[in-house]
Structure 1
Amino acid sequence: MNLSFRYILIIACCFSTLLSYSQKPKRIYIEYSGFTVKDSLKGENVTTFVRSDQGQIHIVHEGVDMWCDKALYYQDQDFIEAFSNVVVKQGDTINMTSKYVEYSGITQLAFAAGDVVLTEPQSVLTTDTLYFDRTKQQAYYKSKGQVVRDSSGTITSQVGRYYMNDSKYRFLKDVVLVNPEYTLKTNQLDFYSETGHSYMYGPSTIVGDSSKIYCERGFYDTNNDTGYFIKNSKINYNNREVIGDSLYFDRNRSFASASNNIKVTDTINKSVIKGHYAEVFRAKDSVFITKRALAISVQEQDSLYIHADTLMVTGKPEHRITRAYYNAKMYKSDMSGKADSIHADHKSGLTQLINLKRFNTGDAFSVKRKPVIWNLGNQMTGDSIHLISDVEKEELDSLKVFDNAFLISKDTLGDGFNQIKGQRLIGLFENNELYNVDIIKNAEIIFYSRDDKDTLIGINKSKSGSINLQFDGPYKIITLLNQVDGDIYPESQFPKNARQFRGFDWRGEEQPKSVEDLFSDDPPLNLPVIKGLDPFVPEEEFFDEALMNRIDDAETKDQSKENKAARQIPKKKEDTSGVKPTISSQPSSSKASIKKKQN
């Protein structure tokens, strides 16, 4: 073997040895201690370190610095116990203080007890006992803890874990976040300390002065006071409850929106609004809802349903106003109607059916143009219609048809139509049934007159200043007033082309006869897909099995009774001055290097 080859071989062996050594984990290193004590009762592999007046004991391992007043170091296990005024620092971001700490240089698992405080840039964690896993960069507690973050508030829970790499907390069991503006309670909360974002899992509530939120999965931005909630979510605004598949909430704007299967309940006015998209402005006392929007005025005897492309409810609780526009319809068991828009004042009991002029040229929402009301076989149309209700009795009181009033009803036996028209119409109701109608100014009538046996007598076509029509069971009593001009004609002598007034428009096929009919001509409904949140982590998976085994191993090391007694948290005075040197009483100002002993 030549000389150069031998040199190469020696260098390679040396490099291999150095590489192997560098890959071995470093042992715990005592940077400084005041006194070093050996006690034969504790064992030959156990060394006691005590602070001096110049400073605390300084311990270093793999980027972690620890200070304490007293320490026990188990060389064979590379394990240390630190007592009294313990401070642990990792880099510039993690700082922990406690009364007692255990740390293994092999597993890099630390256990802290007694007034534990963990501080990171955005929050402060306090608890009685804390586990710190350096390999996973996680800290966790199992016996109640508290996290304080100035901008978000204070969070308490029975179980918690902090993920240092993600600046994330995960809280379990009896989780409570207290903020000056609200209190959040949940089963599980994932909280990101840098952003203030929090994710709730399980039954959760957020209660403020003027609102209460419930959900079983949700997100809340504690910095900006906004939230997104899904799964059985609802928001209570004083006297309003908003339910939907997903809800958005902005506390600063007093605003909420909802998507898919929405229900807004007004408990004071006994009204309900449904749809698939809604916006609620609490400060303005307004609700906007669309996509199959339906307003329900709940009444003991008969509820009123209003449907339109868009619904708006505004006003204080004592004076609510409902506006329905674009293809608006209404339905009661004894009355229904249709118009471009419907305006209902719940305090006065006035409901207006209005057609806007811009829709009078064949707009898709206004094919028939004029508002229309159907009641017990009677169809009434005009340029606008007002319904007046008795709010206390929850009954219809009267109606008014303004301009181009036209009343039509089918003849009881034939295929003809009874018709009355004029400038205005005023109708009176009793028990929600129309019993009296007055047609005022330029009144005209075409009426199929029949006797007691329903035999057709003739067709009455007349004009007068006004006409009064009274309903007496199946009969109609007609009275023509002022300047009567007309006669009764035999059916055979009455031309068919004269049996309908100009502007006649029977719209019976449009009449809603059920709540479902209100949606009969709505366009197809395409609902958005509700996006979910991060997957739920079951409680049994919160502490993984491998990690728990490492904790158990660290806690069940085979030690003598004296060692177990030493692991108890001593009083502060005993920590600082309770140990007398027995072997070495000289202060150690030089660095102490402890060799690793293989287990």
Structure 2
Amino acid sequence: MSKIYYLFACFFLLFSVVYAQDNTSKKIEIVYAGTLTIDNDKYPGATIFNSDEERKVQFRHQGMDIWCDVAVLYQQTNQVKAFGEVFIQQGDSLKMNSEFIEYNGDTKIALAKNNVKLRNEKMTLETEELFFDRNTQEAYYLNYGKISDEENVLTSREGRYFVAPRKSQFTTQVKVTNANFEVNSLTLDYYHASGHIYMFGPTTITGKDYIAYGEKGYYDTKAEKGYFMDKARIDYDNKRLTGDSLYFDKFRSFASATNNIIIRDTINKTLVKGHYGEVYKAQDSMFITKKALISSEVEKGKDSIYIHAKRIMVTGKTGARVVRAYTGARIYKTDIQGKCDSIHSSQATGLTKLIGKPIIWSGKSQMTGDNIHILANTQTEKLDTLKVFDNAFLIEKDTLGTGFNQVKGKILKGKFLENKLNNVNLYQNTEVIYYVYNDQNQPVGINKSKCSQIRIDFAPNQQIETIVFYKNIDGGIYPENKISKEELRFPNFNWRGDEMILSKNDIFPEDEKNIQLTPIHGIKADEIDLIEEKLIPKTEN
């Protein structure tokens, strides 16, 4: 092995002739070295530079400086390998420390290894192996790394940092840690100046009082608000909101979603569906529209009540929930169904009010009046009492003939037994038209009477079984041919059997089968456009 040693003074004179370049040169420029060594056995065609007690070895190449303890320079290939305490600086802000670096002056690509730290303004990137491409001003690692700034710490298996926009791109096992939340994702972009995250692939954000999930979206780490698409959902305490698109704001305790909305309340055993919904966590309330539907389990899961309207609001805490359904309200339970303008239902009292032209069906009977109240037992959740106020009118189609049994009065009060209407009492100015048959189901005549009170008992098949008249009875049973057609029906008779809601799937009217989706609230449309533009699938590097 041959070695040649020179005093640095002699070397510097030689170097000034051989290596001197201006700042725009493509060749790597030596700025300072203590001594040089040539070892062709170990480093063929290379010159070895060593630092001295005064300062470290320094190189410069087109605006970037490299300092190290020992350097190996390959002049022919324009490459340098730096060892020891290696430090790189580009401009005033970009700095990097490592224990080794290999830099190619022609490709302008550097590879740093061992305890690598790249710093740019308030960002620090740490890894064991880092590539830095000066042409594109990108630094990237392929085997785990960490990037931190004043607010967040981001880790991933693969990552890329873009110097000019101060943007990081992470793929595989991505994790963002903050004092207030944690993000786990497959792939995401992070903008250090704004603190904005753009997520590509399954992502979960876990805050102190919420968990959000989506497979594409945006999240503002400073404001803790975001916009998710694709299988989006957010969990607030006992409620989960899902939809095709979802916006949430932690500090406003607000979330909204559009298209295929489901709000699940596990404590109250309530499911709300629609195509636009809002949840107000602080007020413990929710609002839904566009094919809105709320269903609640009753009788300990044996049955459910379904309510539909153009708009549905649910407010109040567990045990004091209030459901308000506005415009075109409908209610369905296996034992009772109804329609009206609006519905008000209180969990605390068990009272459900049908307001505005209400109609209900129970078994074979249709009942109408100015207002209808249905009272359930708050302990057993079973139906208990039915009340119809003013202009109560009960109609039942005669099963053996073509006529209709009819009972009317001012007020109707009914009692349920095992959720089926067992009996009703009508009070004040009561009248009846009832088809009477003998034991052989042969027609006897029509009972057409008036009295102060009428009691009706229903058979197990929900047909009228008996009618009892009380006080001031006026009337009797007449042959059908002795009663005119007009007299066979009370004034305001309106049989609406074709409107009966036969199943929960029939609860939606025809005009709501094709709906126009509502734009999501809480975030401006132009903001969504910018977010979606940045979420356009990108080509893999």
TM-score (norm 1): 0.79
- 8 Å contact from structure 1 (residues 122, 194) kept in 2: no
- State the match for 1:312 in structure 2: 313
- 8 Å contact from structure 2 (residues 69, 86) kept in 1: yes
- 8 Å contact from structure 1 (residues 354, 371) kept in 2: yes
1:226-265 alignment runs, 5 A limit: 226-265=225-264
Structure 1 residue 265 displacement after superposition: 1.2
- 8 Å contact from structure 2 (residues 216, 535) kept in 1: no
- State the match for 1:418 in structure 2: 405
Structure 1 residue 131 displacement after superposition: 0.8
Q: Please give the secondary structure, in 2, of the residue aligned with 1:505.
A: coil
Are residues 32 and 247 of structure 1, via their aligned partners in 2, closer, same or farther at CA, if it must alter by over 3 Å? same
- State the match for 2:417 in structure 1: 430
Residues 1:525 and 2:515 aligned together = yes
Instruction: Quote the Cα distance in structure 1 between the aligned partners of 2:535 and 2:61.
Output: 36
Q: Kindly provide the CA deviation profile for residues 472-495 of structure 1, in whole angstroms up to 9, marking residues without a partner as x.
A: 355522122222223332222222
Letter in 1 for 2:30: I
Instruction: Quote the Cα distance in structure 2 between the aligned partners of 1:38 and 1:238.
Output: 70
- State the match for 2:77 in structure 1: 77
- State the match for 1:454 in structure 2: 441
Q: Kindly provide the CA deviation profile for residues 125-162 of structure 1, in whole angstroms up to 9, marking residues without a partner as x.
A: 111221111122211112211111223x1111111111
Instruction: Quote the Cα distance in structure 2 between the aligned partners of 1:308 and 1:428.
Output: 27
Q: Please give the secondary structure, in 2, of the residue aligned with 1:415.
A: coil
Residues 1:504 and 2:493 aligned together = yes
Instruction: Quote the Cα distance in structure 2 between the aligned partners of 1:407 and 1:225.
Output: 56
Structure 1 residue 456 displacement after superposition: 2.6
- State the match for 2:324 in structure 1: 323
Relative to structure 2, which stretch is displaced further, 343-352 or 521-530? Answer: 521-530
Are residues 161 and 63 of structure 1, via their aligned partners in 2, closer, same or farther at CA, if it must alter by over 3 Å? same
Q: Please give the secondary structure, in 1, of the residue aligned with 2:148.
A: strand
1:355-504 alignment runs, 5 A limit: 355=356, 370-473=357-460, 474-504=463-493
Instruction: Quote the Cα distance in structure 2 between the aligned partners of 1:449 and 1:91.
Output: 103
Structure 1 residue 508 displacement after superposition: 1.8
1:78-117 alignment runs, 5 A limit: 78-117=78-117
Q: Please give the secondary structure, in 2, of the residue aligned with 1:492.
A: helix
- State the match for 1:27 in structure 2: 27
What's the RMSD between the two structures over aligned residues? 2.5
Instruction: Quote the Cα distance in structure 2 between the aligned partners of 1:304 and 1:43.
Output: 83
Q: Please give the secondary structure, in 1, of the residue aligned with 2:135.
A: coil
- 8 Å contact from structure 1 (residues 234, 243) kept in 2: yes
Instruction: Quote the Cα distance in structure 2 between the aligned partners of 1:24 and 1:515.
Output: 78
Structure 1 residue 31 displacement after superposition: 2.1
Instruction: Quote the Cα distance in structure 2 between the aligned partners of 1:144 and 1:347.
Output: 55
Structure 1 residue 45 displacement after superposition: 4.1
Q: Please give the secondary structure, in 1, of the residue aligned with 2:319.
A: helix
- 8 Å contact from structure 2 (residues 162, 168) kept in 1: yes
Q: Kindly provide the CA deviation profile for residues 202-257 of structure 1, in whole angstroms up to 9, marking residues without a partner as x.
A: 22211122211222222212232221212222222121122211111111212111
Structure 1 residue 350 displacement after superposition: 1.9
Structure 1 residue 432 displacement after superposition: 1.7
> Which runs of no fewer than 5 residues in structure 2 stay unpaired?
1-20, 520-527
Instruction: Quote the Cα distance in structure 1 between the aligned partners of 2:489 and 2:178.
Output: 72
Structure 1 residue 280 displacement after superposition: 0.9
Query: What number of residue pairs does the alignment pair up?
Result: 505
Relative to structure 2, which stretch is displaced further, 233-242 or 82-91? Answer: 82-91
Letter in 1 for 2:239: R
- State the match for 1:118 in structure 2: 118
Letter in 2 for 1:438: N
Instruction: Quote the Cα distance in structure 1 between the aligned partners of 2:51 and 2:23.
Output: 32
Q: Please give the secondary structure, in 2, of the residue aligned with 1:165.
A: coil
Letter in 2 for 1:100: F
- State the match for 1:136 in structure 2: 136
Q: Please give the secondary structure, in 2, of the residue aligned with 1:522.
A: helix
Letter in 2 for 1:495: S
Instruction: Quote the Cα distance in structure 1 between the aligned partners of 2:369 and 2:175.
Output: 60
Q: Kindly provide the CA deviation profile for residues 83-103 of structure 1, in whole angstroms up to 9, marking residues without a partner as x.
A: 333221222332212222221
- State the match for 2:204 in structure 1: 205
Letter in 1 for 2:305: L
Q: Please give the secondary structure, in 2, of the residue aligned with 1:219.
A: strand
Q: Please give the secondary structure, in 2, of the residue aligned with 1:398.
A: strand
- 8 Å contact from structure 1 (residues 294, 308) kept in 2: yes
Residues 1:182 and 2:169 aligned together = no
Letter in 1 for 2:96: M
Instruction: Quote the Cα distance in structure 2 between the aligned partners of 1:513 and 1:93.
Output: 72
Structure 1 residue 453 displacement after superposition: 2.3
Instruction: Quote the Cα distance in structure 1 between the aligned partners of 2:469 and 2:518.
Output: 59
Q: Please give the secondary structure, in 1, of the residue aligned with 2:193.
A: coil
Instruction: Quote the Cα distance in structure 2 between the aligned partners of 1:179 and 1:163.
Output: 22
Structure 1 residue 391 displacement after superposition: 4.2
Instruction: Quote the Cα distance in structure 1 between the aligned partners of 2:96 and 2:24.
Output: 27
- 8 Å contact from structure 1 (residues 257, 280) kept in 2: yes
Structure 1 residue 22 displacement after superposition: 10
- State the match for 2:4 in structure 1: none
Instruction: Quote the Cα distance in structure 2 between the aligned partners of 1:252 and 1:280.
Output: 13
More helix by share: 1
Larger radius of gyration: 1
Are residues 24 and 211 of structure 1, via their aligned partners in 2, closer, same or farther at CA, if it must alter by over 3 Å? closer
Letter in 2 for 1:417: F
Q: Please give the secondary structure, in 1, of the residue aligned with 2:467.
A: strand
- State the match for 1:154 in structure 2: 153
Are residues 62 and 407 of structure 1, via their aligned partners in 2, closer, same or farther at CA, if it must alter by over 3 Å? same
Structure 1 residue 340 displacement after superposition: 0.8
Instruction: Quote the Cα distance in structure 2 between the aligned partners of 1:24 and 1:209.
Output: 53
Q: Percent identity of the aligned residues?
A: 44
Q: Please give the secondary structure, in 1, of the residue aligned with 2:349.
A: coil
Instruction: Quote the Cα distance in structure 1 between the aligned partners of 2:428 and 2:535.
Output: 70
Letter in 1 for 2:59: I
- State the match for 1:277 in structure 2: 276
Q: Please give the secondary structure, in 1, of the residue aligned with 2:465.
A: strand
Q: Please give the secondary structure, in 2, of the residue aligned with 1:526.
A: coil
Instruction: Quote the Cα distance in structure 1 between the aligned partners of 2:334 and 2:458.
Output: 19
Structure 1 residue 53 displacement after superposition: 4.3
Q: Please give the secondary structure, in 2, of the residue aligned with 1:92.
A: coil
> Which runs of no fewer than 5 residues in structure 1 stay unpaired?
1-20, 356-369, 543-599
More strand by share: 2
Q: Kindly provide the CA deviation profile for residues 423-460 of structure 1, in whole angstroms up to 9, marking residues without a partner as x.
A: 21111111221111011222222222222223332222
Letter in 2 for 1:350: L
